[in-house]
Structure 1
Amino acid sequence: MQERTLQTIDDAIALVKQSSLSHIKLGLSDIDGVIRGKYMRKDKFISALQSGFAFCDVVMGWDSNDELYDNTTFTGWHTAYPDAAARIDPSTCRRLPLERNAQGEDMLFFIAELDGPAAQVCPRRLLHRVIQRAADLGFDAHAALEYEFFMFDETPDSIREKQYRNLKNWTPGNFGYSVLRSTVHADFYEELMDLCERMDLPIESLHTETGPGVLEAAIAVDRIDHAADKGFLFKTFTKALAEQQGLMATFMAKWSHHHSGQSGHIHLSLTDRKTGLNVFHDPKAEHHMSALHRHFAAGQQRYMPELMAMYAQTINSYTRLVPGYWAPLEASLGVENRTTALRVIPGGPKAQRIEVRIGSADANPYIALAAALGSGLLGIEQKLEPTFTFGNAYTQEFPESIKFPQTLWEAAQRLRRSDAARDLFGNVFVDHMAATREWEERKFREYVTDWELQRYFEII
């Protein structure tokens, strides 16, 4: 039985029983997109497949540094961090080639998700609720994710010893689309591509971007729920592969003010659930944009400023969103225009789509995709019409209504006040997400930065 063909709990149980593995690995997404998981002994894992299992809900009550939120209502000291119900999705089973037992069998890995009341704040369940909204309208969604990430000749110990300063990039210079670099370092490229093939995260293209040691990987298009799972797994296991080879990869939105930021672009399209045809494509319309495509793009454009906390989820995300750094500052929309936040890509029936270019590589893919899909669906429901930008969007003036929040705190307040977000995602998620982003901003304000020391230490 091939693990990526599993569909039912019985299929998964049969595979686990015939395996020589003593334990099986699982993981679920926290708010920041970090995989939180564990090994389960085989008999316990089979029981969890059949009846669900318990997972401490602290994974939704702390930040990426395991510091406990003091401002959330869903969980905290006031609830005493009880266990939450959780379930394993058997269809997500993959072999993990980075781990192998004594008998030479690769580890089995499954994605889990929170259930019961905790489903309201679970990022994976959030996306699935928005997918159901699309299904109720008669649509299936397809997506593809692109990630830029910097590589370093460092280890987790060495970066801490250096206090994250004077890091050695994997390669020097810029060299975007460099065949020289990919040939010299072919071993890592080939191992990454092979890992992703074997884990059903196929990389459609992989190349150097402009900058020292920066790569861009485009993961092949899939159904949006599968695409989110693939983005979720890709980031962690790319980092794991790199660290096994004495290297490090970072998906920070911007690791240095000397270099460009790292994007996490989203490509989206809708198909008719009955016919399977791309509803964005109309061969007779301008740019082949159907009315549904226009409405979808308009919804994304209209609600993007309110949902920025779901696209740009960290303090660091907003260091990309400054003038002159190849990132739009407003919800601009263009046709084949890489200076706008939204890019319409005309094509044939299979290729017609929209690209969300504002997202950064640090975003939780479940949350970012929920925002991108949900806002587009609102555009269809409300029959909104888009406003197009032509030429270089970086040099043009835009109305205040479509400008983005400039800080994570401002983005969290916009999300809190958003009726659209509450309609799409529910009050429990919106309140929890906004509170966690407010916490992140507060933690940042506790620290003195290098910039402040350089700016004020002597002269003020």
Structure 2
Amino acid sequence: MPPPPAKEATPVGTAANPKRDPAPALPAADERRGFLDSRRGVRSMDEAADWLRVRAIEDVECITPDLAGVPRGKMMPAKKFTGNTSLALPSALFMHTISGEYPEESGEFRYSPNDGDLKLVPDLSTLSAVPWETDPTAQVICDLVDTQGQAVAYTPRNVLKRVLALYEERGWRPIVAPEIEFYLVSKNVDPDYPLVPPIGRSGRQIQGGQAYSIGGVNEFDELIDDIYHYSDAQGLEIDTLIHEDGAAQLEINLRHGHPVELADQVFMFKRTIREAAMGQGIYATFMAKPIQGQPGSAMHIHQSVVEIDSGRNIFSQEDGSPSPEFYRFIGGMQRYVPAALVMMAPYVNSYRRLTYGMSAPTNNAWGYDNRTTAFRIPTSDPSARRVENRLPSSDANPYLALAASLACGYLGIVNAIEPDQPTDRTVNESGEISLPRGLLEAVAAFEAEVAFHDVFSREFVGTYAGIKRGEFETFMQVISPWEREYLLLQV
């Protein structure tokens, strides 16, 4: 469980953010040691040059998440990175499907007529080492701006920043703490074969039903040591690590903080965990439902909102009781999350997780410490009062999942939407499902919600919906084992 949001996270500023404060002056000589020792982030390109030099960094990876959350970008020599080099990527790179195909234009989805460049702007607060590389290498997350220097509305980091700007206009700042579940599986080079759990240190495949088992975690001690070492080298903070209920299913909880910083951390953690697993000869997968009959993998999001000036949690009143904003945030989640579900469950496979009887919520209910609801209110002190969104799956782009969840809560507050009554019963095993059942249904609900055109931008809604329709068409070209099993000789 994340600790109470007692202190504000440091805001992340980039050149893509017009409200960014001017870069601070270089520190005096006796203060320079601090940033040179920093494992994550510097304040200026001059500091970056010194930071890279003392580590003998040879190459810098300039990366940015595409709409699927896949790292895209360019690698260059460190000297070129600090030499004011202009970096660009084609705009169409953010308009292809997860399989790398470019879908037909549909609805409001349109390609740029000239596939013009988008400029990469490094966010130096994310500069860190790449610990799994054999040659000294660094990485930095970049924002995307157009040729006029304006933030590109349909790119994930900018979508999240757009939502946060709505909160900032009212003097608020959301605080979030994600929890990411994933599976370890044996290497699988043929997609026609089902995934299976890897062999642990005992020499046997680990089985399911190992929730919170220390023995289950110890089966993969060397891998977990690598994850810790890689994370520490990048300045990434793990709060806790546990074994979940699925066979070789683990969960990492991150410390609470600023949404952009936490989305960056999830983005980097996914890469880190995959690299650590491959170093041990296995795969780590963030598929929502990778193994039939096993629980799916979620990315639960704990959310609260504080006043920027005072740090006070606006979900609690002075006497410690829940505030109107708290209830309206929940009301907004109930009203809008079903329409935003495609940003939290982005693939055909995502909806295999959201089925009854498999521990995932299939509803838009809320309750106090009720894990069968979509929106759970953990037991906490008033200063840590928060809403946990249990619907997002671990395959979601963290920037988009956070943007969607926070936008729904924001719309609830500003539109004074009241929630229904909390429930204390089991609400995910009745067979009733009050959410979109599949990708196309979710896309239709997403496009139909007029409020999203303002909070996310019309350009993002059209682009994202078009890509998701294209992914569904690609999926429909594949014949599944179920079809061969039951239709081949019987119809």
Q: What TM-score, normalized by structure 2, do the two folds share? A: 0.86
* Residue 303 (1) aligns with residue 336 (2): yes
* Residue 21 (1) aligns with residue 21 (2): no
419-428 or 36-45, larger mean C-alpha shift: 36-45
The CA deviation at 1:428 is 0.2
Partner Cα separation in structure 2 for residue 247 and residue 265 of structure 1: 25
Question: Percent identity among equivalent residues?
Answer: 29
* Residue 454 (1) aligns with residue 454 (2): no
In structure 2, which of residues 136, 140, 153 is the aligned counterpart of residue 110 of structure 1?
140
Partner Cα separation in structure 2 for residue 5 and residue 87 of structure 1: 15
* Residue 206 (1) aligns with residue 235 (2): no
Contact 1:169 / 1:212 at 8 angstroms: preserved in 2? no
Instruction: Please list the CA deviations of residues 254-309 of structure 1 after superposition, one character each: whole Å capped at 9, or x if unmatched.
Output: 01222111111111111110101222233645xx4222111111111110111011
Structure 1 residues 161 and 376: CA distance shift in structure 2, 3 A: closer
CA RMSD between the two structures: 2.1
* Residue 46 (1) aligns with residue 82 (2): yes
The CA deviation at 1:215 is 0.7
Alignment of 1:73-152 (within 5 A): 76=111, 79-101=113-135, 105=136, 107-116=137-146, 119-152=152-185
Contact 2:299 / 2:394 at 8 angstroms: preserved in 1? yes
What amino acid maps onto 1:55 in structure 2? L
Structure 1 residues 303 and 337: CA distance shift in structure 2, 3 A: same
Partner Cα separation in structure 2 for residue 37 and residue 245 of structure 1: 26
Partner Cα separation in structure 1 for residue 191 and residue 39 of structure 2: 42
232-241 or 357-366, larger mean C-alpha shift: 232-241
Instruction: Please list the CA deviations of residues 323-381 of structure 1 after superposition, one character each: whole Å capped at 9, or x if unmatched.
Output: 21112222111111100000112422442111000010100000000011111111111
Partner of 2:376: 343
Partner of 2:452: 421
Larger RCO: 1 or 2 (CA < 8 Å, sep 6+): 2
Contact 1:342 / 1:354 at 8 angstroms: preserved in 2? yes
Q: What TM-score, normalized by structure 1, do the two folds share? A: 0.91
Structure 1 residues 459 and 396: CA distance shift in structure 2, 3 A: closer
- SS of match in other structure, 1:25: strand
Partner of 2:189: 160
Partner Cα separation in structure 1 for residue 378 and residue 104 of structure 2: 44
The CA deviation at 1:200 is 2.4
Partner of 1:366: 399
Partner of 2:40: 4
The CA deviation at 1:51 is 6.4
Partner Cα separation in structure 2 for residue 237 and residue 350 of structure 1: 33
* Residue 56 (1) aligns with residue 56 (2): no
Structure 1 residues 378 and 85: CA distance shift in structure 2, 3 A: same
The CA deviation at 1:139 is 0.7
38-47 or 313-322, larger mean C-alpha shift: 38-47
Partner Cα separation in structure 2 for residue 52 and residue 128 of structure 1: 23
Partner of 2:419: 386
Partner Cα separation in structure 2 for residue 6 and residue 118 of structure 1: 22
Contact 1:57 / 1:75 at 8 angstroms: preserved in 2? no
- SS of match in other structure, 1:132: helix
Structure 1 residues 244 and 397: CA distance shift in structure 2, 3 A: closer
Structure 1 residues 269 and 168: CA distance shift in structure 2, 3 A: closer
Partner Cα separation in structure 2 for residue 166 and residue 138 of structure 1: 48
Q: Which has the higher helix share?
A: 1
